[in-house]
Structure 1
């Protein structure tokens, strides 16, 4: 399942901008103030079904607060609607959510009579729900949304510079152990051999407060994050999608080899990921310079 990537700093910034204190936010979300504090420090991810409420609370869309870089399965659609499994019982008129649970796990498909009411409850078309069900069973199905089909965009590909930075951080580092903006600036500058990035610039680029098409800045960002420079410089959604697929494939393979729950990736592993991605996508624009 392609998890949504919760933007902890943006949630914190927007909450404070609205003058909303942590206890009030916690009460609205049905969690403790300590949990909200951990959300904002990147130490804990909000449950996916609480993300819609969190976005509404701070006046953002769900995709603005927690973008997903991939296509949804059945569980994703339910969580995006802010529903828990037990909430679906009243939707489909059953005494338990066993049928929904089984479909989400790819064990047994939904009763056809449940498809329309669930699609309506989730706020999607029947075609979208059926496509999501196929993904729950491990069958790759392209995006069936009318707007996605007409736009020609590559589904699941981060588009803006801020989205690309957020995606790489989420895919490469465990929550709570991601490098700070200052660390990224230092690493990028060291690898390109000059002062190009600053802590403030990285923060503003990462949060979408500002954008940049400066080639030197993009090269330094790529070097800081051990990514192919073309990832930041290409305007092609298809190219971004191909690089995203390479990053995901290699990163998941590394995580599986190292074992879940271990320490964050060190420089040796990051260099391996970068070189492996280059071998997958080909050398288009050159790799980041060695330190």
Structure 2
């Protein structure tokens, strides 16, 4: 997923090629989809090509127009923050500001973790967002970087399907560099197999869920392309606890770094993290150390 600097990135994962595939499956033109969600056909074309992203508040309308569950078409990771609640309610900042009879500044400050909402704003926003006041306050805590440790749902859920595994690794596996493109992954799979096995279109089909199965050769090649243990791509293989802890750490570090780093699943079930992974973690921690609060020399 690539966008130019300064382009708005929605709070949910957005895959233009997947939107295009679903739209075509619904026999809708770009113009027709645009009319359903209040934009032009060329705007839809830019979304699908990855040149631009839709605003977050547009995603519920796009999912509804394509007759897809919002969480399926545009997944998100973990419990919602304030921005996600607002966007999932289909509201822009200007519209939400009207509800609390204020400018957009209080909302912008709260969503970006700079200043909390006034208590008077909580009830009307909770009602507009379709959540309880406690849920809205919990979302505000997440906007300020406070993690909810009362539930293990995030840590116990792991990617299981080929589609989920590819997208998880692409999303969390890289920092300071572009993740491999569909063409690069196809080339790596074919090099590993020693024969032309897949095309870039085949990778798109696997990544978007249009194809849900793959041969052992392709699975091994995907593991090679994304630099994880081959067992991860076997049927119903789930990230083991050690790897899940590592990926959670990668996800947390990535949220601080505002990027992604090369994240490799643990080699085998009990051998722990490789020297290469530890070196990469240490490198990122070193980069972040001066940005983190003083923790008593630890």
Structure 2 unaligned runs (5+)? 1-8, 275-298
CA contact (8 A) 2:31 2:41 kept: yes
Q: Using CA pairs under 8 Å that are at least 6 residues apart, name the structure with larger relative contact order, 1 or 2.
A: 1
Which residue matches 2:134?
127
SS of 1:210's equivalent in the other structure is coil
In 2: Cα distance, 1:186 partner to 1:61 partner = 33
Gap change, CA 1:230 and 1:2, over 3 Å in 2? farther
Give the alignment of 1:47-62 within 5 angstroms.
Answer: 47-62=55-70
- Give the TM-score taking structure 2 as reference length: 0.71
Match of 1:244 among 244, 247, 262: 247
Give the alignment of 1:1-291 within 5 angstroms.
Answer: 3-92=11-100, 94-142=101-149, 152=153, 154=155, 157-171=158-172, 172=174, 179-180=181-182, 182-193=183-194, 197-199=198-200, 201-212=202-213, 215-233=216-234, 234-236=237-239, 241-248=244-251, 274=262, 277-278=263-264, 282-284=266-268
Structure 1 unaligned runs (5+)? 257-264, 266-272
In 1: Cα distance, 2:213 partner to 2:150 partner = 30
In 2: Cα distance, 1:231 partner to 1:28 partner = 40
In 1: Cα distance, 2:42 partner to 2:94 partner = 26
CA contact (8 A) 1:2 1:68 kept: no
SS of 1:154's equivalent in the other structure is helix
In 2: Cα distance, 1:170 partner to 1:68 partner = 11
4+ residue runs over 6 A deviation? 250-256
In 2: Cα distance, 1:155 partner to 1:48 partner = 27
Gap change, CA 1:12 and 1:29, over 3 Å in 2? same
SS of 1:219's equivalent in the other structure is helix
CA contact (8 A) 1:69 1:156 kept: no
In 2: Cα distance, 1:237 partner to 1:134 partner = 29
